[in-house]
């Protein structure tokens, strides 16, 4: 775990393009800046309940989370089935998975077929927190750009 988000940290604004980034063919007319955004204010809605975790491993690659990404976790958000969560049980390290609830157990699903789901039977003491955002770093490796 990286730690709690600063409650009243200084604002660090980053320019936000006036146009959305299309996933298809880009328009040359969309080349202008619109406003500045403080990423802390964008990603952290409840600073007192927000913690940052660094992702470790590749089990969530199918939902776009890579090793080294930063997970923004808000402990005040009530997790729902299908949510991306951080779960902690039986002294295990915090684990990022997709939550599925059943009458007598819960399942924590990976987003990579190489990793089987984790089944926690009723009576297991488990804490589950909602992941509300992901921040990633981009690195160049061997001429390719990839999320890190």
Q: How many Cβ atoms are within 10 Å of 113's Cβ, its own excluded? A: 7
- Residue 52 contacts by C-beta under 8 Å, 6 or more apart in sequence? 1, 2, 3, 4, 5, 70, 71, 72, 73
SS3 state at 66: coil
- First-to-last alpha carbon distance for the chain, in angstroms, is 17
CA pair distance 53, 145, nearest whole angstrom = 23
SS3 state at 43: helix
Active site residues: 59, 97
């Amino acid at each position: 775990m990286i730690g709690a988000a600063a409650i009243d940290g200084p604002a660090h604004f980053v320019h936000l393009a006036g146009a959305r980034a299309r996933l298809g063919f880009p328009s040359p007319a969309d080349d202008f800046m619109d406003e500045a955004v403080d990423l802390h204010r964008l990603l952290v809605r409840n600073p007192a309940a927000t913690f940052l975790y660094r992702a470790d491993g590749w089990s969530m690659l199918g939902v776009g989370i890579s090793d080294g990404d930063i997970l923004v976790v808000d402990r005040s958000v009530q997790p729902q089935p299908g949510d991306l969560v951080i779960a902690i049980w039986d002294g295990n390290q915090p684990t990022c998975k997709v939550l599925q609830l059943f009458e007598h157990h819960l399942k924590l699903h990976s987003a990579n077929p190489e990793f089987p789901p984790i089944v926690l039977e009723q009576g297991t003491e488990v804490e589950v927190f909602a992941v509300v955002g992901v921040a990633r770093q981009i690195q160049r490796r061997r001429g390719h750009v990839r999320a890190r």
